[in-house]
Amino acid sequence: MKNQVQLITYADRLSGAGLPELTQLLDGPLAGLFGGVHILPFYYPIDGSDAGFDPIDHSEVDKRLGNWESVKALGERFEVMADLIVNHASAQSPEFQNVLKHGEQSPYWALFLKEQDIFPDGINDEQAQAIFRPRPTSCFTPKKLQSGEMVNFWTTFTDNQVDINVETPQGKAYLDKILTLFAKNNVKIIRLDAAGYAIKRAGTSCFMTPESFDFINQLSRQANALGMETIAEIHSHYQTQIDVASKVDRVYDFALPPLILHALFSNNADPLLCWLQQSPRNCLTVLDTHDGIGIVDAGPDGDKPGLLNAQQIDTLVETIHSNSRGESKQATGAAASNVDLYQVNCTYYDALGRNDLDYLIARAIQFFSPGVPQVYYGGLLALHNDMALLENTNVGRDINRSYLNEQQVEDALSKPVVKCLCKLIELRNHSSAFDGEFVISGSEEAFSLQWRNQDARAQLQVNLTTREAHITLQEPGQIKYFSLSDLLHNLKN
């Protein structure tokens, strides 16, 4: 993977059309900014109950976006990252519909996970309570077969997303087919979506079991043999991320977004700096994604202390709600049809109260933290919460999933804060210092993040109290020094 900033986007919501138009955008107005692009689910259909994460056919590109040749062509220009939706498929898929029609006689009967597969004698209350669930309802959905029999199918996320039994030959063949398609069409990086839920065992949380670690490791090796890297997508206690990092090529640093917010809200960077001393170096860094802002990743888990304590987490969430003028509260938790109750739904720009300087400091910290940075299209364009889309769909995460047209993209790219962010992206891409050694100094309100690679240096100095942020770049024969506030001021005038 290139050590350059990557874009996260839906093909249609940013380009206004499909994959060819996204390629033109990356080669045109966004030229030179991104070494790779994570294209969020482009499978059929892109407009299911979970914005493409509930594929009816994981092996088919939605024709409204293009085809596999479109993916292949984009992959010739940029490193393409795609989602392998490991845990589930749509209840509308031909395979599951065949199961409903033919029951145990269906060739796909073993493909989908049922209560009886893990609990042959039925599940009791204690076992049910032990299961980690991203929403408060049951992890099973009763489905009626054509014969009239009712069967409890495992549905970790929504009733329309039926879990796959990845330990059966049918489950393995399902994933093998998709991996092969990816490899043939220039996909270089695979995001293992919801992989932590893939292996269930009675009497456990059914999340990140030891068998899950083994499964992720095996799937990663399989992808590596086909010439692809894997990224584990897991929201959990920070120690879990450290453990998973040894099993895959890369993990997400999901603890970073809330820790940066906490630092800016409290003028105290100690929890952030504590994390950066131990965070996995083989990670992707994000501030925002197509999901909400993860909170569980920085907080405590039972008797395991977090990077932030429970009170700090509560204050963090309430400050986001206040900064967004209550908009995030309308999109979070039980206020809307949410899959994940441990995330706050809000654009990162609005979470910071639309403060341009604070937003740029947050991005600078991200770019100077260990890992390869990814920037979500809403974050690239410093978008506001999309309350109209939220009202239309009542899906909490849609507050940060705007549909844009060409003019809206052009207007957003002309904003000073976006111009400044683009300059930070170019800086991160072009300095060889970021291939070297990472050094932290300072504490509380004032700190420094520095990279050293032979004669190249890149340093970010931040004072949270005064909101001063300076960047120093040193290459053989030249030194550049500037402040983020001056850069922003100059672009506004």
Cα 49 from Cα 91, distance rounded (Å): 11
233 catalytically annotated:
yes
Among residues 54, 79, 83, 233, the one annotated as catalytic is: 233
Q: Coil, helix or strand for 246?
A: coil
> Would you say 347 and 385 are in contact if contact means Cβ atoms under 8 Å apart?
yes
Among residues 95, 193, 327, 350, the one annotated as catalytic is: 193
Structure tokens at 37: 């692009």
With CA atoms as reference, report the closest residue to 369 among 472, 454, 286, 266.
286
Residue 391 Cα distances to 199, 336, 397, 398, angstroms: 36, 9, 11, 9
Sign, CA dihedral 322-325-326-330, equals: negative
The phi-psi region of residue 148 (left if phi > 0; otherwise alpha if psi is between -120 and 50; otherwise beta) is: left
> Would you say 383 and 389 are in contact if contact means Cβ atoms under 8 Å apart?
no
Structure tokens at 155: 């549905």
Query: Given the structure tokens 């270089």, which residue do they identify?
Result: 188
Give the orientation angle of helix 356-368 with respect to helix 416-430, to 10 degrees. Answer: 10
Phi, psi (5° rounding) for residue 321?
-60, -40
Cα 232 from Cα 245, distance rounded (Å): 8
> Would you say 341 and 333 are in contact if contact means Cβ atoms under 8 Å apart?
yes
> Would you say 171 and 54 are in contact if contact means Cβ atoms under 8 Å apart?
no
Strands 468-475 and 478-483: antiparallel
Structure tokens at 28: 């045109």
Active site residues: 193, 233
